[in-house]
Amino acid sequence: MSQYPINPAFVAEGKLSDNERLKADSDHLRGTITTDLQDEITGGFNGDNFMLIRFHGMYQQDDRDIRAERAAQKLEPLHNVMLRARMPGGIITPTQWLAIDRFAAEKTMYGSIRLTTRQTFQFHGVLKPNIKPMHQFLHDIGIDSIATAGDVNRNVLCTSNPVQSELHQQAYQWAVKISEHLLPKTRAYAEIWLDEEKVETTEQEPILGDTYLPRKFKTTVVIPPDNDIDVHANDLNFVAIAENGQLVGFNVLVGGGLAMTFGDTSTYPRRADELGFIPLEHTLQVAEHVVTVQRDYGDRVNRKNAKTKYTIDRIGLDNFRREVEQRVGVPFEPVRPYTFTNRGDRIGWVEGIDGKHHLTLFIENGRVLDFPGRPLKTGLAEIAKVHSGDFRMTANQNLIVAGVPSEQKAQIEQLARKYGLIDDGHSEQRKNSMACVAFPTCPLAMAEAERYLPELVTKVEGLLGKHQLADEHIVLRVTGCPNGCGRAMLAEAGLVGRAPGKYNLYLGGDRVGSRVPKLYLDNVGEAEILTALDQLIGRWAIERLANECFGDFVIRAGVVAEVKVSKTDFHA
Ligand code: SRM
Ligand code: SF4
């Protein structure tokens, strides 16, 4: 029951989805996970626990490359979990880095650390006996994985640009506060993983509610002009507004999200809308009540339409705003001026206003591993051993060695070069391309993404070179299915997996991530994609206006129609 008056006209009608029963029956996310941990018959989790472990930051997976082989041997899939850490703003210390580096090497099947599109890291391939020790070791170094998955507010992002360090520090602190404020209050995580005693209380979830949110919920704090965290992929965004270098408040944007389901036109990627400006002191209340409004009016009947973006399209933006204002008790002020001018990471060194130096390393696909000739993982560990600042994971799957004093700059650079972490040969195209994980670990993948991106980029580089545009780039993103984890639905050219070797090609996003692209080719292979890109890049080279990016060009040239309002335009 909500503590606020409910307008029945805004509530989706019908039989609640099974996930709602599961959450209600879970004893505040405990389920029978503890019992399952003792079950040696299976490497996986049974019944509801399969879903409940997500609220604790884990997904059950198996290696899809060997699934058929194991089935042929009548073996169950090699169940394991992927763990996603909670790292608001993506900041991690060198000591923490060295600890996760060791854990990945010694206790995971793949030996890698995977930097994600939401500024954190994942371990892939943790077998059941290692799960509880993993949580305890993370706890010992000050890291948890609470609410990094499931129907809750996920890891809160914050612009990682450390150049404007004064504003960054303030914005980062808000990201941490928002993250803490919106966390589940249940002690299930502490009891199950850290062996803390069950406290006999009437546990309540005043913000998230006893059945938590209708669907996942994503929040950012962003410092214009950088849109490095891609606001339009998120349910709730706080756009920092500064006066004289001091943060004074936020423009609040709601209702972004990128997933869709093929063949279901009630689903679509969607930009976020502006609610208005709020002074700093109302930040937590606004965060809380955007969440409670979505909690009370989000669709709990049809999970495919459950995210905030659909709630807003169903009840109307003005009604959504009014509900938030009533609960906060303060009206939104008109949006203050702001502009985004870029969203990629600035690879290389920059100097902050504090005189410290920051080195952004390009980590292709965020995969930190020792590759032949490029021992990236060892290199980062060597840097961590001598680094006196911190590391910042970016939402573009890169890593910043932040806060390097002048006297240490040469040493860090020498290590980064020695281990292949700096490669002056990387093109702008490569640095502006991104893919989701997909095979072999993602159970939902329909086509390759991470493992395919490097060679696709090489081919696109070839096309740019052919048309004398070698220094140019197209924001290119690949996702292995329409869930959109690599944010292809905000790319200038986005590939979305349909089947092995087959993709949909979407065109017409823009450089700063404010436009959803539109379908150009349906269910095609690489040859057709490259032929189309060759022809369009050729036209772009000749016909483009000064500084016109590829995504703007394809719309002006009428190659695809602009998606202005997703609900009506995306599938039209
Ligand atoms: Fe995602 C599900 C990986 C960012 C939309 N995502 C998954 C799962 C957990 C598959 C599953 O449900 O079993 C993937 C695990 C693959 C693996 O083996 O690691 C997965 N998502 C990722 C990551 C690791 C991609 C990456 O290459 O970095 C990103 C982890 C982020 C994090 O640290 O929290 C990741 N996922 C995103 C984003 C991008 C973003 O948030 O900026 C999106 C699109 C934005 C959005 O939410 O609209 C995204 N992931 C989804 C969805 C679709 C949600 C929906 O609205 O329907 C799913 C499937 C689901 O939830 O049912 C999904
Ligand atoms: Fe998996 Fe699809 Fe997300 Fe890629 S987009 S990680 S394939 S769920």
Is 549 among the catalytic positions?
A: no
Residue of minimum CA distance from atom 56 in ligand 1: 259
Res. 202: pLDDT tops 80 = no
**DSSP track, 130-190:** HHHHHHHHHHHTT-B-TTSSSSSB-PPEE----SSHHHHHHHHHHHHHHHHHTS---SHHH
Q: Following DSSP, what letter does each residue of 505-520 receive, concatenated?
A: EEE---TTS-S--EEE
From the CA of 483, give the closest atom in ligand 2: 5
b/e map of 305-331 (b: 16 or more CB within 10 Å)? bbbbbbbbbbbeeebbbbbbbebbeee
Confidence of residue 201 (pLDDT cuts 50, 70, 90): low
Q: Which helix (H) or strand (E) holds 461?
A: helix 453-466
Do residues 28 and 19 lie in contact, with contact meaning Cβ atoms separated by under 8 Å? no
Judged on CB neighbours under 10 Å (0-12, 13-18, 19+), 140 is exposed
CA of 305 to the centre of ligand 2 (A): 18
Contact 37, 193 (CB under 8 A): no
**Residue that is written with structure tokens 């980064």 in the block:** 416
* Residues in Cβ contact with 68 at an 8 Å cutoff, skipping those fewer than 6 apart: none
Say whether pLDDT at 162 is over 80.
no
CA 310/CA 214 separation, integer angstroms: 11
User: 145, 62 in Cβ contact below 8 A?
Assistant: no
Distance CA 327, CA 343 (A): 33
What's the whole-number mean pLDDT along residues 93-103?
98
353 lines ligand 2 (CB under 6 A): no
Looking at every residue in the chain, the average pLDDT score rounds to 96
Cα–Cα distance, 271 to 292 (Å, whole number): 21
Q: Which residue has the tokens 């999200």?
A: 257
**Cβ–ligand 2 contact at 499 (below 6 Å):** no
Provide the residue type at 562 as one letter.
Answer: E
Using DSSP, state whether 294 is helix, strand or coil.
helix
Contacts of 76 (CB under 8 A, 6+ apart): 42, 43, 44, 70
Q: What is the pLDDT of residue 166?
A: 79
Q: What is the dihedral of CA 221, 224, 227, 229, to 10 degrees?
A: -20
- Catalytic residue, from 23, 128, 216, 518: name it: 216
Whole-number Å distance, alpha carbon 259 to ligand 1 midpoint, is 9
Q: Report how far residue 545's alpha carbon sits from residue 550's, in angstroms, rounded to the nearest whole number.
A: 10
- Residue 82 Cβ < 6 Å to ligand 2: no
Report the distance separating Cα 88 and Cα 118, nearest Å: 9
What mean pLDDT do residues 171-193 have? 96
pLDDT per position as a tens digit, 348-359 = 999 988 899 999
Amino acid (one-letter) located at 245: G
Q: How far apart are CA 453 and CA 366, in angstroms?
A: 12
Catalytic, 21? Answer no
Pocket residues: Cβ below 6 A from ligand 1: 59, 61, 82, 84, 116-118, 120, 122, 148, 154-155, 216, 218, 230, 233, 257-259, 307, 366, 397, 436-437, 441-444, 483-487
Tell me which ligand sits closest to the C-alpha of residue 481: 2
Q: Is 158 a catalytic residue?
A: no
Q: Which atom of ligand 1 is nearest to the CA of 443?
A: 13
Please name the amino acid found at residue 13: E
DSSP character string of 382-396: HHHHH--SEEEE-TT
Catalytic residue among 158, 307, 321, 442: 442
DSSP 8-state symbol, 75: P
Distance CA 279, CA 353 (A): 25
Q: Give the position of tokens 């349909």.
A: 498
Average pLDDT over residues 102-108: 98
CA distances from 267 to 133, 347, 564, 567, 569 (A): 40, 35, 16, 8, 12
Q: How far is the CA of 517 from the centre of ligand 1 (A)?
A: 19
Structure confidence at residue 216 as a pLDDT band (50, 70, 90): very high
List 481, 498, 511, 549, catalytic entry: 481
Q: How close is the Cα of 479 to the center of ligand 1, in Å?
A: 10
Establish whether residue 449 lines the binding site of ligand 2, counting it when its CB lies within 6 angstroms of any ligand atom. Answer: yes
Give the mean pLDDT of 469-485: 98
Find the 58 Cα to ligand 1 centroid distance in Å.
Answer: 12
- What's the average model confidence in pLDDT over 230-234? 98
Using CA atoms in the order 130, 134, 135, 136, what is the torsion angle rounded to 10 degrees? 100
State the pLDDT at residue 568. 97
Is-contact 165 404, C-beta < 8 A? no
Query: Which among 464, 528, 529 is positioned nearest to 495, based on CA atoms?
Result: 529
442 is catalytic: yes
Digit-coded pLDDT (tens) for 312-340: 999 999 999 999 999 999 999 999 999 99
pLDDT of residue 200: 61
CA 462 to ligand 2 center in whole angstroms: 27
Confidence of residue 171 (pLDDT cuts 50, 70, 90): very high
Q: Is 444 in the pocket of ligand 2 (CB under 6 A)?
A: yes
Residue 298 Rama label (left phi>0; alpha psi -120 to 50; beta): beta
Q: Within the chain, what is the greatest distance between any pair of CA atoms?
A: 71
Query: Atom 3 (ligand 2): residue with closest C-alpha?
Result: 485
Its pTM surpasses 0.75: yes
Residue 483 Cα, ligand 1 centroid: separation in angstroms? 7
Rounded-to-integer distance, Cα 473 and Cα 511, Å: 10
Question: Is any atom of ligand 2 closer than 6 Å to the C-beta of 483?
Answer: yes
Average pLDDT on 172-195 reads 96
Which tokens belong to 104? Answer: 């990945």
From ligand 1's centre to the CA of 548, what distance in Å? 31
377 tagged catalytic:
no
Statement: residue 534 has pLDDT above 80: yes
Q: Across residues 1-22, what is the average pLDDT?
A: 95
Residue whose Cα lies nearest atom 12 of ligand 1: it is 444
Task: Please tell me whether residue 247 adopts helix, strand or coil conformation.
Answer: strand
Percent of the chain with pLDDT over 70: 99
Q: Which residues contact 572 (CB under 8 A, 6 or more apart)?
A: 561
The one catalytic residue among 485, 487, 511, 549 = 485
CA 153 to chain centre: 12
